[in-house]
Structure 1
């Protein structure tokens, strides 16, 4: 598929991608656009000129009204945008509303309703288990029976580029009898994939694996910043709290699940044990099944040095299984819900998606290209996540980037 725009066929933001985001120019009101090549297409004026009622959705300051319309509207909109960019007859309508990417200010693409973070990588969970429970089995007994997760804080999800303030809180050094208060000394990242939900459900109505795709709109890159020392002291018995809730960064472009259709792959294998029936997928013509994985390759850059390339295709649990488990007790979905995959880690050392794993608990420093060494994040450090996936016809789909720089703690003492 080609476009009349001067966009190379192999451009990672070509016509097979078409992610959605919210942008503004020179202080104008934020509104919805799609990215094509190195431009943003302002969708509202195009829809208004065509006499389409959907112009109001595209003129909104968030994607939430569009998310609420559901799967049929998402598919119809993709067909319309694709036609705009591939039919030369649409050129006069489209060209006046193309904005260079460098001229656009990107905003949080949707108002986050609820935020849940999962723990879906067997390699990550095994590494963490070996670090913290060296004399026990690395995986907890429930891990292969259900997608483990926790509820996070929706209000601290921020768009890529937002400065991250080092958190402060209680931590208990192993050499001390009592906890102390101060800035986190073991600040970490977690390279994750975030799933954006649309289409609300009713209380008491579970979503089966086979129907979960009706609510999966798209994905964003997600960095679950983690204060490991705060987390270690607080997480027993109820799990993460202040060590996670201070900030979660996401990329500005939401890549649709339709754009990622060619990236679907079978899961690595769930045979020992086999999941309970409500988590089992069904076969599909593409061989990936309704409980599928995704062939997405990440790179984690630390102060300009790529230190890891985690493969998402190694994840144990499917996003559709996460939706099914998240709702099996009758909990609702809301348009704008966000759930993270959990840290993406592969079997090799250079595929680990957190610095906790890369430095093996701080015992094996990571050497950057400038010769400096790191175990955890220092003030001024910048982390960038990037990822790509295969698209149809040999094309490449870019998920963009998710960037954050660490600033000093505001209240390091109390």
Structure 2
């Protein structure tokens, strides 16, 4: 299977032609975690979502299940060698062309404007300037207008919604960090805490699950838990304007997406309930009540954080705010047509081909692109987990698959090191 990844975009290929840009060598170390992803035909954290969205719910779970697998192979990883390899690769990396970030900023700004709303708005701006500058019947309408209306009716609701969207994104990051941290602490506790077994000997808590099948089920449980979390947060949203009114079959699409989202949510809740049941089984096998209560508290906190995360996933900023902003941006060229005509008249003439007309068109298009970019950013940030967003917000979405993979690697490291002492010398718990 080809694991080299997709072909780079045009912008990246152009930048690669610049001296000193994009000369970073390929990673010197390919971890088993990345190999595990590629065996599934995925590149970590990028193509995962596109593959998931095109599959049924059962297909999603079967694809995402092996987050914690091949532990015997992973246990052979020499993490110190990995660090050495990564540092060696970093030392060879080019510092980058001095203006690479500036060029990238222009490219990002351009991509933020690539939407139907922006194209339509530019077209309406040109039409508005032409009509108000060339129709003699509208000559008396030409006037210098105040821009406070734009600030109040367009910029304020857009900026307010963007602020809300970023606040929701930061809250989602905190909750997702809480979930992965607590799951990692649960995993760590079961590998590092020691309890007395039936023979009165101190052993790691995980050794109470003495059957090989039980340990395999334990790994599969965490695998399914992380997989269902990624699948749920990656699911497409269903609260667009068309869904609110049920236009063009959106009502049926709404019901289908809600049903899939509910099934994925219930799968995560079911796996979490199994974790809680396992804590009680460990208690029955020798874990004392206080420690069992602490682990049970961790599980409860994961459930609370996940429920709060679902509220962010399934609910959006006010629908009317978003609709009003998009409509007002498209009406703005005609509302300020008299201003553009007055600008053309003062700058050298309103007729087609005169400098004043050209200046009016350029100014109208620039204003329209500025507000359209803000609207695109607003729409793109509505779902902080979207990985297939078309607008500017796509660059600021939460990469859930990458976060889950980091948590998985943390768990692998814990399992590899749990029988070593604090001084990293090989010694088993007696």
**Alignment TM class, shorter chain as reference:** under 0.3
TM-score (norm 2): 0.26
Question: Which structure is higher in strand share?
Answer: 1
Question: Which structure is higher in helix share?
Answer: 2
TM-score (norm 1): 0.26
